[in-house]
Amino acid sequence: MNRIATWSAAAALALSPLALAQPTTAAPARIANAYTVTAKVNTDTAIAKETIVKVTGRVTPKAAGEKVILQQRVGTKKKWTATGDAKVKSNGTYKLTDKPSTPGSREYRVLKPASKGIAKGLSKAVQVEVYRWEKLANRQPVATNFNAPVGVNIGTEYFGSSLATATSGVPSTLEYTLGRKCTEMRATYALTDESVTGAIGTVRVTGDGAVLVDHALAVGTIVSDETSDLTGVFRLKVDATTTAAPAAATVAIGTPEVLCTR
């Protein structure tokens, strides 16, 4: 009998207006959807201080007139750095630009900050390999009996940071390790203006044994701004010969430059 009375009292309390009026805990608010951001670049390789990298994409929802931020990180760095911003167009697209100044691998991504109850969105990272023109003669040679770096006169024009044979009649050799990090070389090949009339010489450049440059030279012969493909080259070698008699000569490689990354 007591059990029945106890149950009846509990049931009555549960159904009473007082019990129904007890406060309840509200359900957590639903997290807003995030922006979706796409990104692509106009090139996967660039030349430092020359190439403008264009990053384009789309923001969904469109967020017309709102700002997107370009972020990048270089090499093995973990930190992303903001380097530019732009407004989203009425159709949801955007365009950002960057002109890298240092060589090496870098990644770009685009951030759309949170707004209007929509969480921030980040694009996937896109990678660009940046190269830079460097003076070859300023690099540490592996072995040499060239004069380097040195200034030379070719066709009355002065070329700094050049290579030149040291002794007429003595074959000269020079090597550099490029480590397969360079893609191109440019240089001028000639006998210097101080070479005696009638003098001759030769110059040959090889990459891992493959001939890249091969010229017979005489006074007045100038091969200007010749480019050579260095893709995949680990060791670059320069060989030159000159006459000592009856006329002395100096072979010069005028301001050679290589396009390399880190």
Residue 100 domain-assigned (yes or no): yes
Residue 13 domain-assigned (yes or no): no
pTM of the predicted structure, to 2 decimals: 0.81
How confident is the model over 24-43, as a mean pLDDT?
A: 75
Q: What is the CATH number of the domain that holds 75?
A: 2.60.40.10
Per-residue pLDDT at 13 exceeds 50? no
pLDDT score at 142: 93
- C-alpha to C-alpha distances, 52 to 47, 72, 77, 89, nearest whole angstrom: 9, 14, 22, 21
Q: What is the DSSP letter of 88?
A: P
| Domain stop point among 66, 100, 132 | 132
Q: Average model confidence (pLDDT) for the chain?
A: 91
Place of tokens 């996967």: 44
pLDDT score at 32: 54
Q: What is the CATH number of the domain that holds 161?
A: 2.60.120.1060
**Reported confidence tier of residue 18, pLDDT bands at 50, 70, 90:** very low
Continuous H helices in the chain: 2-14, 17-20
Residue 99 domain-assigned (yes or no): yes
Are 198 and 253 found together in one domain?
A: yes
Q: What is the largest CA-CA distance in the chain?
A: 137
Residue 124 domain-assigned (yes or no): yes
| Domain stop point among 132, 153, 178 | 132
Are 92 and 144 found together in one domain?
A: no
What total of structural domains would you count in the chain? 2
Residue 15 domain-assigned (yes or no): no
Per-residue pLDDT at 61 exceeds 70? yes
Are 195 and 90 found together in one domain?
A: no
Q: What are 189-234's pLDDT values in tens digits? A: 999 999 999 999 999 999 999 999 999 999 999 999 999 999 999 9
> How do strand 235-242 and strand 222-229 relate by DSSP bridges?
unpaired
Domain that holds residue 163: 139-260
